Amino acid sequence: MLKKVKRRYLALSIDSQESFSSEEFINAVWLAVQKLFGECGASQTGLRLIDYDAGSKLAVIRVFHVAVEQVRAALAAITEIGRKPAAVHVITVSGTLKALYSRINSSRKG
């Protein structure tokens, strides 16, 4: 019997003076994961871009729950996106998108 795949959603903030397209952002994340864990390790993260807002510099990605710490380590290794200096910070992690967005909205208000 197959087990259900558990996923986690990560809310990310991009710290940079520049703006980036969603393709530049996800390519930088994939490259960081591949550099740190190789092609096989990157394929086991289940990494997917869910939402990206260039204006507010926020992004939401989805990963397998067993790969959350690996992806967080790779995100910390990002120093540039599209050859422009940048850093990526994890705001919060959640099991559902609804809870993730409510946490983001409550942290903005408070």
pTM: 0.92
Ranges of beta strands (E only) in the chain are: 7-15, 48-53, 58-64, 80-81, 84-85, 87-94
The string of pLDDT tens digits covering residues 65-104 is 999 999 999 999 999 999 999 999 999 999 999 999 999 9
The string of pLDDT tens digits covering residues 40-63 is 999 999 999 999 999 999 999 999
Instruction: Provide the pairing of β-strand 58-64 with 80-81.
Output: unpaired
Structural domains present in the chain: 16-94 (3.30.70.3250)
